Amino acid sequence: MDMTIELLKILYEKDAVFFTQHVIERCKQRNIHPGQIRTAILNGEIIKDYPDDTPYPSCLILGYPDADTPLHIVVGTNGESARIITAYYPDPDKWESDMKTRKEQKS
């Protein structure tokens, strides 16, 4: 199954996107609201696939809850529902300015 942003949009429309306890706790710590995650996914793009994740394949999405704020969201899906695994504001020290490319680690 190929995970696409279109599939995730459909799952949101069907109210089939769920938040893990982990992401609920992390979002409170990071001051990220569930509505921001939804907006970021609906206008976002998949920047990395994790097809071998368990229990379901997952992906990393870059989206923008507002014009100036990049947000990364990891989502897993079995094709019928999706789970938000984590969400965070990407650290500019770790990501290139496009927020899609991880910076090379300096040794």
Summarize pLDDT for 37-88 with one digit per residue, the tens. 999 999 999 999 999 999 899 999 999 999 899 999 999 999 999 999 999 9
Enumerate residues 6+ apart whose C-beta is below 8 A from 101. 95
d(CA 64, CA 66): 5
The angle subtended at Cα 3 by Cα 37 and Cα 36, nearest 5°, is 5
- Residue 101 forms part of a structural domain: no
In the block, residue with structure tokens 């897993």: 76
pLDDT band at 107, cuts 50/70/90? low
Predicted confidence at residue 76, as pLDDT, reads 95
Closest CA to 72 of 31, 49, 100: 100
- Tokens found for residue 68: 């100036």
- Residue 26 forms part of a structural domain: yes
- Residue 102 forms part of a structural domain: no
- Domain region containing 32: 5-88
- Residue 36 forms part of a structural domain: yes
Q: Is residue 1's pLDDT more than 70?
A: no
d(CA 83, CA 10): 14
Domain count, the chain: 1
List, for residues 12-40, the tens digit of each pLDDT value.
999 999 998 989 999 999 999 999 999 99
